Amino acid sequence: MIGSHFSFSRKSPKTLLNTIVATGATTCAIFLKSPRSNAFVEPFDAKVIAFFAENIAPVCRVFAHASYTYNLAASGNRDNNLAAFLHECELANQLGVPIIIHPGFVESGVVADGIANVVAAINYIHARLPQVTVLVEFCGDAPITKKGCAYIGVNIGQIKKILTKVYNRARVGVCLDTCHMYVAGIDMNDAARVDAFMTEFDTEIGAANLQLIHLNNTEELLGSCKDHHSPLARGNITGDGFKHFLRHSLIRGVPIVTETHLDGNAAIKNELKYVEALLQ
C-alpha cells in the first residue's frame, strides 16, 4: 500500500475520495482537525461516518495524524494535553482509523519521566477507547534541547520502553519516518547502517509492531536533528538509499505514506509511481 498525506474536510469528504482515485493511492494519512489549533471540534455526523465507511475505507487504508498542539511527554499542563489527545482519539474512533503521535518532550530533561508520561497518556486513552490503535512515531528531534528539555521517541530504546509499558499492547505500534531517521544520525545511504538499525528494531521492538512508514526526503544534514521534509527526488537521501530501505525484508507489506507537501494530484501521483518503481 502506497499513498500520501491528504487534505480531509468534514464538509466535503468526497474530496478525499476524489484525491485517492486521482493519485492511485491505496493508503493515506489525514488530520482530523486543524493540526495547529487547540480548538475542539464537533464529532463527525452520521453522514460523514457512513460515507467514510462505505466509500473511503474499502479502497484506501487511512491513518490519522495527531495535532502538534499538545505534548504527551510533558509533566506540566497534563489535564489539557490529555483532554486534547482524547478528543482526537474520539474522532479517530468514529472513523475507525489508527492515530499517529509524536511523543513530545519532557521539560525536566529526565527521559524516564517523559516516557512515563507518554505511557500514561496512551493508557488513559485505552481505558476509555480500548479499540483505538496508537502509533508512536520515531522522531528526529534533538535528544536534549538548549533549554534542557528531552525529546522522547528519538531512539529504539525509548520506543521499546513505551510499548512494553502500555497495558493494551495489541493497540499500539510504531511509525518509522525516513527523514527523522536521517536527521537523527542514521545514514539512509549506508546499506550496512540501515540493516543494523532494522536488525536492532526487530530485536528490541519486533517487526510486527512496525505498522507504518513515513517516506520523506530531507535537505538537512545527517544528524542535524532538524525535521524538515522534502520531496523524495530532492534531498540527501538517494534513490539507492530509499530502494535498499524499501526492499528490506522488515518493510515488505508495511503501508507507505509520503509527507512531501507536493502541489496537485499529478505531482503526487508521479511521486507514488516513483515509490512503486523503487519497490520493484
Half-sphere exposure of 7 (CA within 13 A, CB side): 13
CB atoms under 10 Å from CB of 192, counted, come to 9
In this predicted structure, what is the pLDDT of residue 38?
83
Q: Among 58-62, 142-146, 204-208, 271-275, which is the least confidently predicted range?
A: 142-146
For residue 3, the SS3 value is strand
Residue 199: CATH number of its domain: 3.20.20.150
Task: Tell whether pTM > 0.75.
Answer: yes
**CB of 217 within 8 A of CB of 234?**
yes
* Number of folded domains that form the chain: 1
Angle at 145 between CA 140 and CA 146, to 5 degrees: 145
Selected residue with higher pLDDT from 37 and 178: 178
pLDDT tens digits, 215-260? 999 999 999 999 999 999 999 999 999 999 999 999 999 999 999 9
- Residue 232's domain comprises 2-279
pLDDT tens digits, 114-134? 999 999 999 999 999 999 999
CB atoms under 10 Å from CB of 127, counted, come to 10
**CB of 137 within 8 A of CB of 162?**
no
**Which residues, in sequence order, are CB contacts of 169 under 8 Å at separation 6+?**
163
In this predicted structure, what is the pLDDT of residue 144?
86
Residue entry with cell 522522531: 139
For residue 235, the SS3 value is coil
For residue 249, the SS3 value is coil
Beta strands in 138-242 (DSSP E): 150-151, 172-177, 210-215
For residue 111, the SS3 value is helix
